[in-house]
Amino acid sequence: MNGARLVLVRHTEPDESMRGRIYGRLDPDLSDAGRAHAERLAATLGGEAVAAVYSSPQRRALATAAPLARRLGVETIVEPGLREIDFGELEGLSVAEAAERYPVEAAWMHAPAAAAFPGGETVSAVCRRAVAAARAIAERHAREAVVVFGHAVTTRAILADALAMPPDAMFRIDQSYGGLSIVEWFDGNPVVRVVNAVRL
C-alpha cells in the first residue's frame, strides 16, 4: 500500500423512533437491528489489517464502531468533523411536517450546495469540515488502513470530493445503513475503490 486507505462506514439502523423523521444533530442510539448489523460489520472488517478506528462523536456512529474496536482491541478515536449535519429547526420533524413548515429547506437534496437550515448548518460548511477530517486522517495514516464510522451526508461529502463531483450531485451517491466505501490517498490525491458495498 502506497497511501492511506480509509474504509468509510455509515452507521447502522438507528432507534425506531427516528423512522420517517429528520435527524442530524439529534443523537439516537441504534435499534436492535442496528446493533446486530454492527456486529456483522465487525465480523466483515475484523479480518482486515486495520491500524485505527475513527468515529463521529454521535452515539449511532460510536455504537456501530464499538464491536469492531473491541474485536481489534483498540480504542475508537472520536473525530468531531465527522458529525452529521445539524438540520436546525427541522430536527425531529417528520418529513411531511418539514415539507409543510419549511418547503424550501425540505427540498434541499435537489440542490444541496446552497442549502442552509434555520438554526442549523449550511451543507457547504458540513462538506468542508467532513473533507478536512478525512484528509487529516489520511495524512495521519500514510501506508495504513483505517475504518471511519460516520453518517450519510458527511460520507457523501467525502466521496463527492474524492470523485471531484459538484456538491449538487452528492445525492447521486447512495449511502445505505452500514454501507462500506473505500478511498485511498496517493500523494494527497484520492482514489475511490468501493462505494456503498454490503461487504468488502
Q: Give the Cα separation of 97 and 148 in Å (integer).
A: 33
Burial class (CB in 10 A: 0-12, 13-18, 19+), 91: middle
The total of other beta-carbon atoms located within 10 Å of residue 116's CB is 14
Q: Which residues contact 134 (CB under 8 A, 6 or more apart)?
A: 6, 8, 148, 158, 161, 183
- Whether 151 sits among the annotated catalytic residues: the reply is no
C-alpha cell belonging to residue 120: 442549523
The active-site residue out of 13, 37, 79, 84 is: 84
Q: Among this protein's residues, is 84 annotated catalytic?
A: yes
Task: Please pick, among 11, 37, 141, 151, the residue that the annotation labels catalytic.
Answer: 11
Residue numbers annotated as active site? 11, 84
